């Protein structure tokens, strides 16, 4: 029981909180369910690529990668 609880909060803190606070997912102005779903998937991909690239802080990753397309594409390799 306790392991499941810890897993839940790990997901909440490492994914949902980041998507809401860093990327503003809850405030996104989508009226269409498919659009909201697709953007959520893209945000998850961006988070995973940044973490795979060695960024623990998504805020720092956003700052470093937002204006450097070459570094951004290196994450796809």
DSSP-H helix ranges across the chain: 2-11, 17-21, 33-52, 58-65, 69-74
Q: pLDDT digit string (tens) for 5-59?
A: 556 666 666 777 888 888 788 888 888 889 888 988 988 888 888 888 898 888 8
Q: pLDDT digit string (tens) for 61-72?
A: 888 888 888 988
Rounded-to-integer distance, Cα 48 and Cα 58, Å = 10
Domain boundaries, the chain: 2-74
Query: Cβ–Cβ contacts within 10 Å for residue 61, how many?
Result: 22
Rounded-to-integer distance, Cα 68 and Cα 9, Å = 33
């Amino acid at each position: 029981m306790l392991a499941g609880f810890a897993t839940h909060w790990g997901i909440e803190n490492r994914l949902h909180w980041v998507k809401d606070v860093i990327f503003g997912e809850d405030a996104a102005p989508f009226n269409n369910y498919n659009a909201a779903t697709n953007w959520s998937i893209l945000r998850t991909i961006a988070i995973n690529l940044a973490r795979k690239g060695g960024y623990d802080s998504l805020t720092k990753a956003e700052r470093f990668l937002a204006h450097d397309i070459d570094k951004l594409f290196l994450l796809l390799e």
